[in-house]
């Protein structure tokens, strides 16, 4: 009986407790990622020599070019662009919108998101796993959160440009961007799957695929 209890506790520690956390805690002050090496079990190996410049990043300032069909552009400060974040469990994005621009529905499998509006007026929403939409228009200085893994979007509803800074509790939150995941994958998801899923026809699916093909 005692050994059954011990195995239960061990299983809890090995699987349940880690699944409640985000990126693992660092085991040393820092480990600036050596991006020339392949990622090891979790993150990049450490660079052998570091300098102050490894801990600073100037890529979040913008302005970005938002002339694209969504009217949105993102510059990420994650471990791939800013290797000083390796093992630290945090990252940020600069998100800029043209008037009417939309950051399309997407989710981050490895992080919750917190964001602040720097400029403009933005309709921000996220959806729960039972399809409740929580949304609000927020303005400069106001903040929002998106629980880890939930689908969310932002829409610039102001007259001018809009800008957000977002932050994540992962060095590489990842983004599943629904339109391009479903209609722009390589290789393609078979039309039979998509027509049935969306209760539509081949012409509609082909039209959507043509917009998201890479
Ligand atoms: C906004 O949703 C972002 O992922 O930066
Ligand atoms: Mn996001």
Q: What is the mean pLDDT of residues 11-15?
A: 44
Query: What is 103-157 written as a DSSP string?
Result: EEEEE-TT--EEEEEEESEEEEEEE-TT--EEEEEEETT-EEEE-TT--EEEEE-
pLDDT 10s digits, 15-25:
444 445 679 88
Clarify whether residues 202 and 98 are in a common domain. Answer: no
Answer yes or no: do 123 and 164 share one domain.
yes
Q: Average pLDDT for residues 159-168, to the nearest whole number? A: 98
Q: Are residues 176 and 202 in the same domain?
A: no
Q: Is 188 annotated as a binding residue?
A: no
Phi, psi of 164 (to 5 degrees): -125, 155
Cα end-to-end span (Å), the chain:
57
Domain that holds residue 143: 20-183
52 and 24 housed in the same domain: yes
- DSSP per residue, 4-55: HHHHHHHHIIIIIHHHTSSSPPPSSS---B-TTSPPBTTBPPBPSS--GGGG
Contact 94/31 with Cβ under 8 angstroms?
no
Q: Verify whether ligand 1 is closer than 6 Å to residue 103 (CB atom).
A: yes
Are residues 199 and 113 both part of a single domain?
no
Question: pLDDT at position 1, please?
Answer: 46
* Of residues 83 and 2, more confidently modeled: 83
Mean pLDDT rounded to a whole number for the chain: 92
Q: Is the pLDDT of residue 8 over 50?
A: no
How far, in Å, is the centroid of ligand 2 from the Cα of 156? 15
Is 130 labelled as part of a ligand binding site? no
Task: Please report the pLDDT score of residue 9 as a whole number.
Answer: 44
Q: Is 191 annotated as a binding residue?
A: no
Whether residue 212 contacts residue 183, with contact meaning beta carbons closer than 8 Å, is answered with yes
pLDDT at residue 21 in the model:
64
The pair of structure tokens assigned to 23 is 């990126």
Q: Are 101 and 67 in contact (CB under 8 A)?
A: no
Indicate which CATH number applies to the domain containing 165: 2.60.120.10
Within this chain, do residues 101 and 48 fall inside the same structural domain, yes or no?
yes
The answer to whether position 8 is within a domain reads no
Q: What is the dihedral of CA 37, 41, 90, 175, to 10 degrees?
A: 90
107-143 pLDDT, tens digit per residue, is 999 999 999 999 999 999 999 999 999 999 999 999 9
Rounded to the nearest whole angstrom, what is the distance from the C-alpha of residue 110 to the centroid of ligand 2?
11
Together in a domain, 95 and 33: yes
- What integer is the mean pLDDT of 26-31? 92
**Are residues 125 and 135 in contact, defined by beta-carbon separation less than 8 angstroms?**
yes
């Amino acid at each position: 009986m005692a050994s059954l209890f011990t195995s239960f506790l061990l299983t809890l520690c090995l699987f349940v407790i880690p699944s409640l956390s985000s990126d693992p805690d660092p085991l040393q002050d820092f480990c600036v990622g050596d991006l020339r090496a392949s990622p090891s079990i979790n993150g990049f190996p450490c660079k052998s020599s570091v300098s102050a410049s490894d801990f600073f990043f100037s890529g979040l300032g913008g302005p970005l070019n938002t002339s694209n069909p969504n009217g949105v552009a993102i510059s990420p400060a994650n471990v791939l662009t800013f290797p000083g974040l390796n093992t630290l469990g945090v990252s940020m994005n600069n998100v800029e919108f043209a008037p009417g621009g939309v950051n399309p529905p997407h989710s981050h499998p490895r992080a919750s998101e917190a964001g602040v509006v720097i400029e403009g007026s933005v309709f921000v929403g996220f959806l729960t796993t039972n399809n409740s939409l929580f949304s609000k228009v927020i303005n400069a200085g106001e903040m929002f959160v998106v629980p880890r893994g939930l689908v969310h979007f932002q829409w610039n509803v102001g007259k001018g440009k809009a800008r957000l800074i977002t932050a994540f509790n992962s060095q590489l939150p990842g983004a599943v961007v629904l339109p391009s995941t479903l209609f722009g994958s390589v290789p393609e998801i078979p039309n039979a799957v998509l027509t049935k899923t969306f209760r539509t026809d081949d012409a509609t699916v082909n039209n959507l695929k043509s917009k998201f093909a890479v």
